[in-house]
Amino acid sequence: MRVLIIGGSGFLGTELVRQATAAGWETAATYCSRPGSVPGASWYQLDLRAPEQVDEVLAAVAPSAVINATSGGSDWAVTADGSIRVAVTAAKRGCRLVHVSSDAVFSGSRIHYDEACLPDPLTPYGAAKAAAETAVRLLAPAAAVARTSLIIGRGGSAHERMVHALVAGTRDGVLFTDDIRCPVHVEDLASALRELAMSDQAGIFHLAGADALSRHELGVLIARRDGLDTTRLPAGRRADTAMPGALDVRLDSSATQGRVRTRLRGAREFLQAR
């Protein structure tokens, strides 16, 4: 298996590279500014805003599968247009494509979302992700589009770092009690994405954890796991702020769980105190 991981130096990408190389896959990965540190992979610098670079990298690697795990945030040129370039090039070269999307494509108006639900984003990031999903499904109909949620694990995620900083008093802010998601462990997510890369399953998949938690509840679980003082975690309500975005988005992954072997654990399980 020869795989190309777009965004291989990111949090999810690093775990994908680690698992792929451990499985004996011939692994190539891309980075924007700095290559990753996982040994055994070939690294390629890639700016998704440059169409010729996308074609050059796929030509050089000649992968059988491409996993697009890049995160350009609300930068439309990366998150939407860049993903479209990857889909066009992968389809042209006959590569299996797994495209990673987000629960940010939903507004939260219905709270529970299965794979059949249509995107209705509220933020520029969500809109870019929704546009990418639509384009990928049109340009590469055999591709798998995998929506996920907050990614946790090994202490390296943004949320875990925030919890430590809040407890240490080195960062201002609060953890919202009304902002609810279904966190997933990075190892589970990467494993399920690799399964999809090896399969011929097409369409929308939900890869999120089994537990719906507020960001504050999640922070408390992280703090307990890491032996931190949970009373130092400030709580607040997102509804009382001017921050845009959905409040309560719960990805229902039950249909996808029936199609992949990897068990998508809930945060209450994978964040059990040591």
Burial of 62 (0-12, 13-18, 19+ CB in 10 A): exposed
pLDDT at position 273 over 80: no
pLDDT, tens only, 212-234? 999 999 999 999 999 999 999 99
Q: Which secondary-structure segment (H or E) carries 101?
A: strand 96-102
In order of start, what are the domains of the chain with their CATH numbers? 2-150+184-207 (3.40.50.720), 153-181+211-270 (no CATH)
pLDDT, tens only, 227-263? 999 999 999 999 999 999 999 999 999 999 999 999 9
Distance CA 38, CA 124 (A): 32
Name the residue among 170, 204, 209, 202 with its Cα closest to residue 186.
209
Tokens 């990467």 belong to which residue?
190
pLDDT, tens only, 12-69? 999 999 999 999 999 999 999 899 889 999 999 999 999 899 999 999 999 999 999 9
Q: What one-character-per-residue DSSP string does 28-71 give?
A: EEEESSS----TT-EEEE--TT-HHHHHHHHHHH--SEEEE---
Distance CA 236, CA 174 (A): 6
pLDDT at position 197 over 80: yes
* Tokens representing residue 241 in the block: 């702020």
Distance CA 85, CA 77 (A): 10
Distance CA 101, CA 24 (A): 26
Mean pLDDT of 115-128: 97
Q: Confidence band (pLDDT; 50, 70, 90) for 6?
A: very high
pLDDT at position 94 over 90: yes
Distance CA 46, CA 60 (A): 12
Mean pLDDT of 111-138: 97
- Residue 9 CA to its chain's centroid (Å): 13
Mean pLDDT of the chain: 96
pLDDT, tens only, 156-190? 999 999 999 999 999 999 999 999 999 999 999 99
Are 130 and 105 within 8 A, CB to CB? Answer: yes
Q: Residues of the chain with pLDDT > 70: what percent?
A: 99
Mean pLDDT of 116-133: 97
Q: Confidence band (pLDDT; 50, 70, 90) for 71?
A: confident
Report the residue count for the chain. Answer: 274
Distance CA 63, CA 93 (A): 9
